[in-house]
Structure 1
Amino acid sequence: MYDAIVIGAGPAGLQAALTLGRMHRSTLVLDSAQYRNGPVSHMHNVLGDDGTAPAEHRARARAQLTAYSDVTFRTAVAESIAGVADDFTVTLEGGEVERARRIILATGVTDELPAVPGLNDLWGHHAFACPFCDGHEFHGAEIGIIGAGPRSGHLLALLGPVVGGITVFPIETAVTDDERAILEAGGARVAAEIVDSVRAGADGGVIVTSGGADTELAGLFLASGSIRQHSPFAAQLELQMLSSGAIEIDDFGHTSVAGIFAAGDLAHRATMPGPVASVIQAAAAGQLAAAFVVQELSA
């Protein structure tokens, strides 16, 4: 019986493990070796690690965690969770069962990209979602925004002061006259034709429109797409969910089921409009959830 099982070994799970280990709480970390930022070459906006490869960041954290004998890592996929606080069982792929008094879910989310041929291949290298994470690298350069929905105006406002120019490329249907007027008033150019496909170019991403025209840009940002839970546990445990697709938590990482905590971009408070895709925010959430696991176990 572990004090806690942490499911997921990204920033939230690793920081949770560190906090638990420092308080000498027996902890099992289950690492599926699948990470949201797995395709990303370099992560940014991370104090002390700006520009570091995510794999290097994880490896350094894992090496530091070897100093804590109460923390055990296993490369394994968790398939189901059952039980109640102080006696949870986690069934692994293959049927093995582990037990713990508390569970911290840190399994993250999966990005659901728009159905644009070639986009998956560019994701994390030439195509991005977060201007805070990746906008600065394109300062003074020409970029494209894929999608002309409400988020395109938001991206335009954030990236406009950073980059040299922005062209918005609609998906599926051309923009309306009103949408075009709003985007152009914000300083963007608006492509007349919809996106047909994307591919890598010599120095960035190439957008091919329905008429066959190629436009090479330094970087591409998505104004459409969604997220989904990477793991099945929210549904299995019937956790309270938010309209963003994330698990609802309170200020301390508690979910709606006693003894189950969630940390990282799979969860957020109801006062937030959505999860924050940030390594630092995920680590902070993992630390907070782990601290309150310790508090509960000490009561």
Structure 2
Amino acid sequence: MQPDVLIVGGSHAGIAAALILARARRPVTVIDAGLPRNRAASHSHGVLGLDGVSGAELLKTARQQLLQYPSVRWLHGEVVDAAAGGADVQVRTADGQVLSARKLLLATGIADQLPALPGLAERWGSTVLHCPYCHGYEIGGGAIGVLGGQPWSAAKAGLFAEWGTVTFFSQGIAPDEDELAMFAQRGVQLESTPVVGVQGDQPQWLEVVLDDGRRIAQRALFVPALQTMATPLVQQLGCALQESPLGVLVEVDAMKQTSVANVYAAGDATTIGNITLATAEGVRAGIGIHHALVAEDSTPTQ
């Protein structure tokens, strides 16, 4: 049976949307490559009622519950092509399967692009972080670094002072007078010598290596990871994009419809968020898609 909806991406937004549609008794196929954005993090925090549970465990439970609905089909695979035209959408997987449906939801997420400094990627999700709301509490009020390099980085340094004693590494973009005043008020230290890498094998601290040879021990280093689309499907389909402080996002309306007919998007690709916000995005997309399907089914055929 051809599904009403294809969902590409089986993380929090994709599963949330699929659950709404399954409960509306709509046939849904979820295609997932098994690479959630938060796979490097050992625990997830700030999720109501599930604080501290690993992201992998959250997804495992959500997937098991979703698959109790008989109208849901789950495919493990990578979608490499997508097209929309007329009344249908179509995707092709890396192993050659071609699937079509009335609606397509892109819950493919984003890829985090870290600054090109040695040692960052290996520590991503442990001592190199990007979200203080997800990881800041566990740092325990110690010395933490905030890496600059973006025009808005200095303005964020005062926020991070909630979670520790902050050193702001400016990376060549000097704070302005208002930002320096905020640094003084919030106890933020300014380090103008460029960071050239990070070192250290301990799970709860690292050393920030400066261009002059100094090494500064930190409990964690927060970095301005820029966002890019995790797959080329958005560009293939021609969905409009919009700029955000951290990179591009898919442009959607209130019901998560993109600029392309029958194509929807939800999750990290449409908002700067976390697990809770991505889940909410998926719920809204599921409702929006269901409303659209009902409207089409209610239109008399000519």
Instruction: State the 1:19 CA deviation.
Output: 0.9
Q: Give 3-state SS (helix, strand or coil) of 2:20's partner.
A: helix
Alpha-carbon separation, structure 2, partners of 1:84 and 1:176: 49
Q: Give 3-state SS (helix, strand or coil) of 2:159's partner.
A: helix
Counterpart AA for 1:213:
R
State whether structure 2 residue 229 is matched by structure 1 residue 226.
no
Aligned to 2:254: 251
Aligned to 1:51: 52
Alpha-carbon separation, structure 1, partners of 2:252 and 2:293: 19
Alpha-carbon separation, structure 2, partners of 1:65 and 1:243: 33
State whether structure 2 residue 171 is matched by structure 1 residue 168.
no
Tell me if the contact between 1:183 and 1:189 (Cα under 8 Å) persists in the aligned partners.
no
Instruction: State the 1:210 CA deviation.
Output: 1.1
Aligned to 1:294: 290
Q: Give 3-state SS (helix, strand or coil) of 2:102's partner.
A: strand
Give RMSD over aligned pairs: 1.9
- Structure 1 residue runs of 4 or more that deviate by more than 4 Å after TM superposition: 176-180
Q: Give 3-state SS (helix, strand or coil) of 1:114's partner.
A: coil
Alpha-carbon separation, structure 1, partners of 2:273 and 2:92: 28
Q: Give 3-state SS (helix, strand or coil) of 1:37's partner.
A: helix
Aligned to 1:73: 74
Aligned to 1:91: 92
Aligned to 2:274: 278
Aligned to 2:138: 137
Tell me if the contact between 1:146 and 1:221 (Cα under 8 Å) persists in the aligned partners.
yes
Identity percentage over the alignment? 32
Aligned to 1:271: none
Alpha-carbon separation, structure 2, partners of 1:174 and 1:240: 31
Instruction: State the 1:41 CA deviation.
Output: 1.1
Alpha-carbon separation, structure 2, partners of 1:21 and 1:123: 35
Tell me if the contact between 2:158 and 2:183 (Cα under 8 Å) persists in the aligned partners.
no
Aligned to 1:151: 152
Q: Give 3-state SS (helix, strand or coil) of 1:12's partner.
A: helix
Unaligned residue ranges in structure 1 (runs of 5+): 268-274
Alpha-carbon separation, structure 1, partners of 2:97 and 2:67: 24
Aligned to 1:272: none
Tell me if the contact between 1:122 and 1:200 (Cα under 8 Å) persists in the aligned partners.
no
Alpha-carbon separation, structure 1, partners of 2:146 and 2:55: 25
Counterpart AA for 1:170:
S
Q: CA 1:17–1:189 in structure 2 vs 1: closer, same or farther (change >3 Å)?
A: same
Q: Deviations over 1:228-282 (max 9, x none)?
A: 0011122111111102311100111010111101000101xxxxxxx22211111
Q: Give 3-state SS (helix, strand or coil) of 2:4's partner.
A: strand
Instruction: State the 1:196 CA deviation.
Output: 1.2
Q: Give 3-state SS (helix, strand or coil) of 2:22's partner.
A: helix
Aligned to 1:260: 263
